[in-house]
Amino acid sequence: MRIRLNTELLSGLFGLALAALFFFNRGNVGFLSSVFPDTVLVILAVLSVVLVLRGAIAGEPTTLALDGAGSVLVGIGVMVAWWLGIKYVGFVTTSVPLFAGLALVMKRRAGPLAPRDYLIALAIALVVVGGFFWVFSEVLGIRPFRAPLL
Protein backbone atom coordinates (compact mmCIF):
# COMPACT_ATOMS: atom_id res chain seq x y z
CA MET A 1 0.00 0.00 0.00
CA ARG A 2 1.23 3.50 -0.84
CA ILE A 3 0.19 6.96 0.32
CA ARG A 4 1.01 10.43 -0.97
CA LEU A 5 2.12 13.01 1.59
CA ASN A 6 3.12 16.67 1.39
CA THR A 7 6.31 16.17 3.43
CA GLU A 8 7.30 19.87 3.44
CA LEU A 9 3.97 20.86 4.96
CA LEU A 10 4.05 18.01 7.47
CA SER A 11 7.66 18.61 8.55
CA GLY A 12 6.85 22.31 8.99
CA LEU A 13 3.82 21.41 11.13
CA PHE A 14 5.99 19.02 13.15
CA GLY A 15 8.53 21.83 13.74
CA LEU A 16 5.76 24.21 14.79
CA ALA A 17 4.28 21.66 17.19
CA LEU A 18 7.71 21.07 18.73
CA ALA A 19 8.36 24.82 19.03
CA ALA A 20 4.95 25.26 20.72
CA LEU A 21 5.65 22.36 23.09
CA PHE A 22 8.93 23.92 24.21
CA PHE A 23 7.55 27.50 24.26
CA PHE A 24 4.71 26.60 26.64
CA ASN A 25 7.14 24.74 28.92
CA ARG A 26 9.69 27.54 29.25
CA GLY A 27 8.87 28.12 32.92
CA ASN A 28 10.32 30.95 34.96
CA VAL A 29 14.01 30.91 34.30
CA GLY A 30 16.43 33.82 34.33
CA PHE A 31 18.05 35.65 31.43
CA LEU A 32 21.21 33.52 31.41
CA SER A 33 19.23 30.30 31.10
CA SER A 34 16.62 31.57 28.64
CA VAL A 35 18.47 33.76 26.15
CA PHE A 36 19.85 30.89 24.05
CA PRO A 37 16.77 28.60 23.97
CA ASP A 38 14.55 31.61 23.20
CA THR A 39 16.73 32.45 20.20
CA VAL A 40 16.65 28.83 19.01
CA LEU A 41 12.85 28.71 19.43
CA VAL A 42 12.47 31.75 17.18
CA ILE A 43 14.71 30.14 14.55
CA LEU A 44 12.79 26.85 14.84
CA ALA A 45 9.44 28.62 14.45
CA VAL A 46 10.59 30.71 11.47
CA LEU A 47 12.00 27.68 9.64
CA SER A 48 8.79 25.74 10.33
CA VAL A 49 6.58 28.56 9.03
CA VAL A 50 8.68 28.82 5.85
CA LEU A 51 8.31 25.05 5.32
CA VAL A 52 4.55 25.20 5.93
CA LEU A 53 4.17 28.06 3.44
CA ARG A 54 6.36 26.36 0.84
CA GLY A 55 4.48 23.11 1.34
CA ALA A 56 1.08 24.83 1.07
CA ILE A 57 1.97 26.93 -1.98
CA ALA A 58 4.30 24.79 -4.03
CA GLY A 59 4.68 21.47 -2.18
CA GLU A 60 4.69 18.34 -4.27
CA PRO A 61 3.37 15.17 -2.58
CA THR A 62 5.89 12.38 -2.01
CA THR A 63 4.85 8.74 -2.33
CA LEU A 64 5.56 6.63 0.75
CA ALA A 65 5.30 2.84 0.87
CA LEU A 66 3.47 1.46 3.89
CA ASP A 67 4.40 -2.19 3.29
CA GLY A 68 5.37 -3.89 6.52
CA ALA A 69 3.81 -1.19 8.69
CA GLY A 70 2.35 -3.94 10.89
CA SER A 71 5.87 -5.25 11.61
CA VAL A 72 6.97 -1.75 12.58
CA LEU A 73 4.05 -1.46 15.01
CA VAL A 74 4.95 -4.87 16.49
CA GLY A 75 8.56 -3.68 16.80
CA ILE A 76 7.54 -0.48 18.59
CA GLY A 77 5.28 -2.49 20.90
CA VAL A 78 8.15 -4.86 21.71
CA MET A 79 10.45 -1.92 22.51
CA VAL A 80 7.93 -0.33 24.86
CA ALA A 81 7.24 -3.69 26.53
CA TRP A 82 10.97 -4.29 26.84
CA TRP A 83 11.52 -1.00 28.69
CA LEU A 84 8.52 -1.52 30.99
CA GLY A 85 9.59 -5.11 31.69
CA ILE A 86 13.16 -4.12 32.56
CA LYS A 87 11.85 -1.43 34.91
CA TYR A 88 9.19 -3.45 36.72
CA VAL A 89 10.24 -7.10 36.33
CA GLY A 90 13.92 -7.51 35.52
CA PHE A 91 16.33 -7.42 32.60
CA VAL A 92 16.92 -11.12 32.00
CA THR A 93 13.35 -12.22 32.74
CA THR A 94 12.03 -9.62 30.28
CA SER A 95 14.66 -9.86 27.59
CA VAL A 96 14.67 -13.65 27.11
CA PRO A 97 10.97 -14.02 26.15
CA LEU A 98 10.91 -10.76 24.16
CA PHE A 99 14.11 -11.69 22.29
CA ALA A 100 12.73 -15.13 21.44
CA GLY A 101 9.26 -13.72 20.62
CA LEU A 102 10.62 -11.04 18.29
CA ALA A 103 12.86 -13.57 16.53
CA LEU A 104 9.91 -15.95 16.03
CA VAL A 105 7.60 -13.18 14.75
CA MET A 106 10.25 -12.13 12.23
CA LYS A 107 10.99 -15.70 11.16
CA ARG A 108 7.30 -16.48 10.74
CA ARG A 109 7.11 -14.00 7.87
CA ALA A 110 9.25 -16.42 5.83
CA GLY A 111 7.10 -19.46 6.53
CA PRO A 112 5.37 -21.59 9.19
CA LEU A 113 7.26 -22.33 12.40
CA ALA A 114 8.20 -25.82 13.59
CA PRO A 115 8.41 -26.78 17.30
CA ARG A 116 12.19 -26.91 16.86
CA ASP A 117 12.23 -23.21 15.97
CA TYR A 118 10.74 -22.31 19.37
CA LEU A 119 13.45 -24.28 21.19
CA ILE A 120 16.25 -22.78 19.10
CA ALA A 121 14.91 -19.23 19.60
CA LEU A 122 14.67 -19.75 23.36
CA ALA A 123 18.17 -21.24 23.58
CA ILE A 124 19.73 -18.43 21.57
CA ALA A 125 17.83 -15.84 23.60
CA LEU A 126 19.20 -17.35 26.81
CA VAL A 127 22.76 -17.42 25.50
CA VAL A 128 22.74 -13.88 24.01
CA VAL A 129 20.86 -12.15 26.84
CA GLY A 130 22.67 -14.07 29.57
CA GLY A 131 26.04 -13.61 27.88
CA PHE A 132 25.75 -9.86 27.40
CA PHE A 133 24.27 -9.41 30.88
CA TRP A 134 27.19 -11.30 32.39
CA VAL A 135 29.78 -9.32 30.38
CA PHE A 136 28.25 -5.97 31.33
CA SER A 137 27.64 -6.73 35.00
CA GLU A 138 30.62 -8.97 35.87
CA VAL A 139 33.37 -8.02 33.41
CA LEU A 140 32.68 -4.34 32.74
CA GLY A 141 31.39 -3.72 36.25
CA ILE A 142 28.21 -1.93 35.14
CA ARG A 143 25.75 -1.89 38.06
CA PRO A 144 22.87 -4.24 37.18
CA PHE A 145 19.32 -2.96 36.64
CA ARG A 146 17.32 -2.51 39.81
CA ALA A 147 14.18 -4.65 39.50
CA PRO A 148 12.41 -7.31 41.57
CA LEU A 149 13.81 -10.16 39.43
CA LEU A 150 17.07 -10.71 37.58
Partner 1 sequence: MEVLIAAALAVLQPHMLLIVLLGVTAGLFVGALPGLTATMALALMLPFTFAMEALEGLVALGAVYMGTIYGGAFTAILINTPGTPSSIATTFDGHPMAKQGRALEAISIATIASVVGGVVGVVFLLLAAPPLAQLALKFGPSEMFWVAILGLTLIGSLATGSVLKGLLGGAIGLIIGTIGISPIGGESRFTFGWPPLQAGVSLIVALIGLFVIPELLSMMRQGRAAIDSAAGLGDGGFRFGSAMTTVFSKPVNLIRSCVIGQIIAIIPGAGGSITSLVAYNEAKRGSDDPDSFGKGNPEGLVASESSNNVMVAGSMVPLLTLGIPGAPPDAVILGVMLLHGLRPGLELFSETGVLANGFIISMGLAALMLIPVGLLGGRLIYQVIRRTPHYFLVPTILVITILGTYALRNNLVDVALMLGLGIVGFAIRGLGLDAAPIVLGLILGTIAEQGYVQTILGGMAMDIPQLRLLENTLSQILIVLTVAVIGWTAWPRKRRQKD
Give the per-residue SS3 of 86-140: HHHCCHHHHHHHHHHHHHHHHHHCCCCCCHHHHHHHHHHHHHHHHHHHHHHHHHC
Q: How far is CA 66 from CA 2, 75, 105, in A?
A: 6, 15, 19
CB of 87 to partner 1, least distance (A): 6
Smallest gap from Cβ 59 to partner 1, in A, equals 11
Q: Please check whether residue 31 is in contact with residue 9, taking contact to mean a CB–CB distance below 8 angstroms.
A: no
CB of 57 to partner 1, least distance (A): 13
Taking Cα atoms as reference points, which of 96, 80, 85 lies closest to residue 148? Answer: 85
**Three-state SS for 64?**
strand
116 versus 143: smaller Cβ distance to partner 1:
143
CB nearer to partner 1: pick between 75 and 150: 75
The answer to whether the CB of 15 falls within 8 A of the CB of 44 is yes
Nearer to partner 1, 33 or 56 (CB): 33
- Taking the complex as a whole, the smallest distance from the CB of residue 47 to partner 1 amounts, in Å, to 5
> Rounded to 5 degrees, what are φ and ψ at 62?
-105, 140
- State in angstroms the smallest separation of the CB of 115 from partner 1: 17
Nearer to partner 1, 14 or 56 (CB): 14
